[in-house]
Amino acid sequence: MKNTKIYTGQCQCGNIKFSLKGRPEEPHLCYCHMCQRMAGAPVVAWVKFPLNSLKYESGAPKMWRSTEKSQKGFCPKCGSYLFVVDGGDDSIYMITNCLDQKNDMEFSPEFESYKESAPRWLHIPDVENKEEDDDS
């Protein structure tokens, strides 16, 4: 894969360092109660990469089965959550804030999950509908 961008990232303490190859896909925001509790925040931003593109430079995550289908990867030293993997899927959903190049990505959420679970005090602008903006 020529000209494939490499993204790097790490947990909060730097114990786990990793790289991913490819283009981040399906940028989205999730407001579900599980994400809120996991991140300690009202919303989490996610992007998808091919699972086989993930390479650890140092450290290794612990895995926690959060649902029958999903596992979350986190640092065993600092507790930072990094990603979610769904069983049988060949993709990995990374939390954008663990990526070093998070500000270099064009992050325009394609969709939002569980918006009704957002705290009432959180002002949430509407995600633009890409199809409506198409001039063709």
Per residue in 7-20, pLDDT tens?
999 999 999 999 99
- Residue 44, helix vs strand vs coil: strand
Fill in the amino acid letter for 26.
E
Query: What is the domain range of residue 86?
Result: 6-100
CATH label of the domain that carries residue 25: 2.170.150.70
**pLDDT of 127 higher than 90:** no
Mean predicted lDDT score pLDDT of the chain: 87
Which residues neighbour 42 within 8 Å (Cβ) at sequence distance 6 or greater?
31, 36, 118, 119, 122
Answer yes or no: is 126 within a domain. Answer: no
Higher pLDDT, 128 or 24: 24
pLDDT at residue number 134: 40
Query: Residue 1 has what pLDDT?
Result: 47
Pull the structure tokens for residue 32: 């579900």
Domains of the chain: total: 1
Distance of CA 102 to the CA centre of its chain: 10
pLDDT of residue 128: 58
Residue 135 has pLDDT above 50, yes or no: no
Look at residue 68 and tell me if it is in a domain.
Answer: yes
For 51-94, write each residue's pLDDT tens digit. Answer: 999 999 999 999 999 889 999 999 999 999 999 998 878 999 99
Strands 62-65 and 70-74: antiparallel
**Cα 71 to Cα 36, 44, 81, 129, 135, distances in angstroms:** 16, 16, 11, 30, 40
| pLDDT, position 131 | 42
- Which residues fall within 8 angstroms of residue 50, CB to CB, at 6 or more apart? 21, 22, 90, 91, 92
Does the pTM exceed 0.75? yes
In a domain, 128, yes or no: no
Does 95 fall in a domain?
yes
